[in-house]
Amino acid sequence: MSLKGKRILFIAPSSIPVDGPEAIVNIKQLEILSKAGCIIDVVSKKKKKFYYPFLNNGNLPFHLNSVHMVEVDNKVTWNTIMLHLLTFMTFGIVYKSAHWAWPALKKCKELIKENQYDFVMTKNLPSELLGYWIKKHKNIKWIATWNDPYPEEKYPVPYGKGVFAKVFLGARRLIPVMEKYPDFHLFPSNRLRDYMLQYLNIPVEKTLVIPHAVLDGDTPTTAQCESDVLSILHSGNVDYPRDPQPFLVALSRFLQERPDARLKVYFQGVYSEKISLWIKDLNLGNVVEILPPVSYWENMQNLSHYHVLLIIEAPCKEGIFLPTKVSDYMQAQKVIWAVSPSKGVLHDLYENGNIGYFSDCQDADGIYNELKQVYDDYLKDGLRGTKVPETYLSKSIVHCFESM
C-alpha cells in the first residue's frame, strides 16, 4: 500500500520538543512518514525540565498536521498520586511516570472524534497504554514500537534484572496486553526483538525490525576533517551503567608510550563529576575536554569537525540496543569506533563492515590496541569509513511501513 494520504495518530511523549535520544529517533521517523505523504497528528509530552537544548515544532524541516503537548508534573504530589490512581483505574496498568497517559487520553479521544485514522503508532512509555485503550475501544490499527525492553524491570543487567525478572504488580498486566492487542510490533534491532520474544508470546510474522533512520537518500562516503590533530568525539551520555573508565585508562597508556601523539578526545553532553575525576587522576586534562550539550541539529552540524566518532556502551552480556548515535554518526558520514559488548548489535555492524573500529567495552588492553590502530590509520590518511546498511535508509523504512 502507498503511504500517501494515510492519517496517523502518532503518540510519542518524547518527540517534540526534540531534546534527547528517544526524541531524535522519533523525529526522524516523523520526517520519513511526513515526506512519504502521511497526514500526522502528534501527541507528545510538554516538559518542565530539559537536559539538552531543543527545537520545537515551528523549527522542524517538514510538515505535521498538528502537534499537541500534554503537560504533567513528575514530582510526587497529591495531584500526581491521583493521576497514577486514575491511570490504573482507566488502563488496569500503572508504573512510575505512567500518569501522563491519563490526561493524554483526553486529547487522543478528541483527535479520534475529529479524524478518521488509518493507524495509531505508539513510541516510548507510557504511550503503549494509549495504544491499548484505542485498539480495545475504537478498534483502530495499532503499530507498537519497542525501542527498549518492556516492562522496564526486564532490561538486561546492569540496566535491569534481566529477561526473567519479576515485574512490579502494577505493570504485570502489560505483558498480556502487549501480546494480544498490537497489530504490529516494531523493534530497532533483531537482537532486541529476539530478547523480548523470550518472554512475549508474539508471532514473528507480526514483528518488523526497523532500525533508527539515516536520513540521507544514498549511502554516504566518509567526510574529511581538516584538522592536523586526530580528534575523537563521544556525543551523549556515558553515566552509569556505561563506563568510560576502560577507554580513559587505555588512552592514558597510549599517551605514556607515545607522548608525541597529536590527538584530542571530546565528551559532549551532560556528565557526572566522576568522569572529571578520572580525567584528573589519569593526567588527561590536556587531551580530554568536556563540552556542553547542544541541540540535535547543531550537534549534527558539529560532527563534521571530528575525525572519529566514539560510542561507549554498558557492559551487558549481549548488546541488544541500537544506540541513537549510530544512525546519527552514519548520517554525518563519519568514521565510527564502537566500544561495546563483544557480542551485540554494534559488533554485528563491525563484522559486516558497516563501522570501522570496534573494542570490547570491558577490555582496556583491547581498547588500547584499537586506539593504536586508529592513530596509525589516521597518520596514513587511511581511517576506515562507514558503510550504511540499506535497511537504515529512508526508502527501506518506507517500504517496511507500506508492507504492514
What backbone phi and psi angles, to 5 degrees, belong to 383?
Answer: -60, 140
- Which single residue is written with the C-alpha cell 514530582? 75
Return the bridge partners of 185, or none: 144, 207
Q: Is the pLDDT of residue 13 over 50?
A: yes
Three-state secondary structure of 7-27: EEEEECCCCCCECCHHHHHHH
> Using one digit for the tens of pLDDT, what is the confidence trace for 158-193?
999 999 999 998 999 999 999 999 999 999 999 999
Task: Take residue 164 and report the three cell numbers written for it.
Answer: 526473567
**Per-residue confidence band for 61, with pLDDT thresholds at 50, 70 and 90:** confident
The CA R_g of the chain, rounded to the nearest whole Å, is: 22
Mean pLDDT of the chain: 93
Return the bridge partners of 310, or none: 234, 337
> Using one digit for the tens of pLDDT, what is the confidence trace for 336-351?
999 999 999 999 999 9
What backbone phi and psi angles, to 5 degrees, belong to 110?
Answer: -60, -45
Give the pLDDT score at 57. 56
Give the pLDDT score at 220. 44
Return the bridge partners of 344, or none: 319
Listed residue (326, 379, 335) closest to 357, CA to CA: 335
Q: Where are the beta strands (DSSP E) in 23-169?
A: 39-46, 66-71, 119-122, 142-145
Pairwise CA distance, residues 102 & 107, whole Å: 9
Q: Count the residues in the chain.
A: 404
Angle at 64 between CA 63 and CA 67, to 5 degrees: 140
> Using one digit for the tens of pLDDT, what is the confidence trace for 308-322?
999 999 999 999 999
Q: In this structure, which amino acid lies at residue 290?
A: I
Taking 3-state DSSP, the helix, strand and coil percentages for the chain, each rounded to the nearest 5, stand at 40, 20, 45
**Per-residue confidence band for 52, with pLDDT thresholds at 50, 70 and 90:** low
55 vs 98 pLDDT, higher one: 98
101, 357, 367 from 380: Cα distances, Å: 55, 16, 20
DSSP 322-383: --HHHHHHHHTT-EEEEEE-SSBHHHHHHHTTSSSEEEETT-HHHHHHHHHHHHHHHHTT--
20, 53, 55, 97, 245 from 50: Cα distances, Å: 9, 7, 11, 16, 27
How confident is the model over 54-66, as a mean pLDDT?
75
No. of H helices and E strands in the chain? Answer: 13, 13
Pairwise CA distance, residues 312 & 201, whole Å: 32
Say which residues have a Cβ less than 8 Å from residue 110's Cβ, sequence separation at least 6.
Answer: none
- Which single residue is written with the C-alpha cell 497504554? 129
DSSP 216-251: -SSPPPPPPP--SSEEEEEES---TTS--HHHHHHH
Cβ atoms of 62 and 30 within 8 Å: the answer is: yes
Return the bridge partners of 308, or none: 232, 335
> Using one digit for the tens of pLDDT, what is the confidence trace for 131-152?
999 999 999 999 999 999 999 9
Instruction: Supply the angle between the helices 21-35 and 324-331 in degrees, to the nearest 10.
Output: 60
What backbone phi and psi angles, to 5 degrees, belong to 185?
Answer: -120, 125
> Using one digit for the tens of pLDDT, what is the confidence trace for 226-254?
668 999 999 988 989 999 999 999 999 99
Pairwise CA distance, residues 281 & 294, whole Å: 27
How confident is the model over 92-116, as a mean pLDDT?
97
Give the pLDDT score at 289. 96
Predicted model pTM: 0.94
Pairwise CA distance, residues 150 & 315, whole Å: 20
Give the pLDDT score at 18. 86
**Per-residue confidence band for 58, with pLDDT thresholds at 50, 70 and 90:** low
Q: Is the pLDDT of residue 55 over 80?
A: no
Give the pLDDT score at 56. 56
% of the chain exceeding 70 in pLDDT:
94
Task: Take residue 49 and report the three cell numbers written for it.
Answer: 525540565
